[in-house]
């Protein structure tokens, strides 16, 4: 299934990608597209983490959501979908709500890459702390609600972000805890669109783009400058 990708990056890189271990935390609007593109890019060792069930409100933006699977656990739906794409994929699921208190169940040190697509700011902070401590490569998605322009999303160090309220909180943590090294995130330069509602406004294309950018960061990092000239 990877013949077209192999033409682009070479067989050796395909084999490296297959062996890479990825932990994906959150399989909603951002994480669902990250998972889809990771698997279609050859990742065969992946653990997905989510405690939520598919709801009708997910239909506008989450790739796994259908009217036929409303009420099912997202990780269960994801596993079935992944196996249908690539039966060789070794996909594990953790059906838990992750907090600082139970964070150790992730065994984060066992992975080559971590993608943070979760909603909890405290968990985002802990992911950064643990990945930095264990020298694990990671990418964290900031907010994708209240935005309409996917072209303003970028992969950037948290210290260079602007406008995003979640990024502001993470920047503060990184500064106060004197975290060294790059803290790479997917973040938008678009100011939040102001609406009079407590419900987070969203669409299909901004979260999707953020998820694809997370995957592009992982795959391009694996490939690096080793792409064979074809």
**DSSP bridge partners of 140:** 116, 185
Q: In the predicted model, what is the mean pLDDT of the chain?
A: 96
In a domain, 132, yes or no: yes
pLDDT tens string 176-195: 999 999 999 999 999 999 99
In a domain, 48, yes or no: yes
In a domain, 229, yes or no: no
pLDDT tens string 144-158: 999 999 999 999 999
In a domain, 85, yes or no: yes
In a domain, 100, yes or no: yes
Residue 228 — very low, low, confident or very high, per pLDDT cuts 50/70/90? Answer: very low
Exposure b/e, 3-14, CB count within 10 A at least 16 = b: eebbeebbeebb
DSSP 9-39: H-HHHHHHHHH-EEEEE--SHHHHHHHHHHH
Q: Tell me which residue range forms the domain holding 174.
A: 3-223
Residue 227 has pLDDT above 60, yes or no: no
Q: What percent of the chain has pLDDT over 70?
A: 97
pLDDT tens string 192-214: 999 999 899 999 999 999 999 99
pLDDT tens string 49-105: 999 999 999 999 999 999 999 999 999 999 999 999 999 999 999 999 999 999 999
Q: With 0-12 CB in 10 A as exposed, 13-18 as middle and 19+ as buried, what is 175?
A: exposed
Q: With 0-12 CB in 10 A as exposed, 13-18 as middle and 19+ as buried, what is 38?
A: buried
Model pLDDT, residue 225: 59
Residue 226 — very low, low, confident or very high, per pLDDT cuts 50/70/90? Answer: low
Residue 229 — very low, low, confident or very high, per pLDDT cuts 50/70/90? Answer: very low
**Domain CATH for 108:** 3.40.50.720
In a domain, 228, yes or no: no
CA diameter of the chain: 53
In a domain, 32, yes or no: yes
In a domain, 182, yes or no: yes
Model's pTM, two decimal places? Answer: 0.96
What domain count does the chain have? 1
Collect all residues with Cβ–Cβ distance below 8 Å to 12 and sequence separation of at least 6.
226, 228
């Amino acid at each position: 299934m990877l013949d077209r990708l192999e033409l682009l990056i070479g067989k050796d890189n395909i084999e490296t990608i297959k062996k890479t271990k990825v932990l994906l935390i959150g399989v909603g609007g951002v994480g669902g597209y990250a998972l889809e593109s990771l698997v279609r890019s050859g990742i065969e060792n992946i653990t997905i983490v989510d405690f939520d069930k598919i709801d009708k409100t997910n239909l506008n933006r989450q790739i796994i959501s259908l009217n036929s699977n409303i009420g099912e656990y997202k990780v269960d739906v994801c596993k079935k979908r992944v196996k249908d794409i690539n039966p060789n994929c070794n996909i594990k699921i953790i059906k838990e709500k992750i907090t600082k208190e139970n964070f150790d169940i992730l065994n984060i040190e066992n992975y080559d890459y971590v993608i943070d697509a979760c909603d909890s700011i405290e968990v985002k902070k802990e992911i950064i702390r643990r990945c930095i401590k264990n020298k694990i490569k990671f990418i964290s998605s900031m907010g994708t609600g209240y935005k309409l322009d996917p072209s303003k999303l970028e992969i950037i160090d948290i210290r260079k972000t602007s406008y995003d309220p979640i990024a502001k909180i993470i920047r503060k943590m990184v500064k106060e805890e004197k975290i060294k090294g790059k803290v790479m995130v997917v973040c938008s330069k678009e100011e939040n669109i102001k609406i009079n509602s407590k419900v987070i406004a969203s669409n299909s294309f901004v979260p999707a783009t953020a998820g694809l950018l997370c995957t592009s960061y992982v795959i391009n990092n694996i490939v690096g400058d080793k792409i064979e000239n074809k």
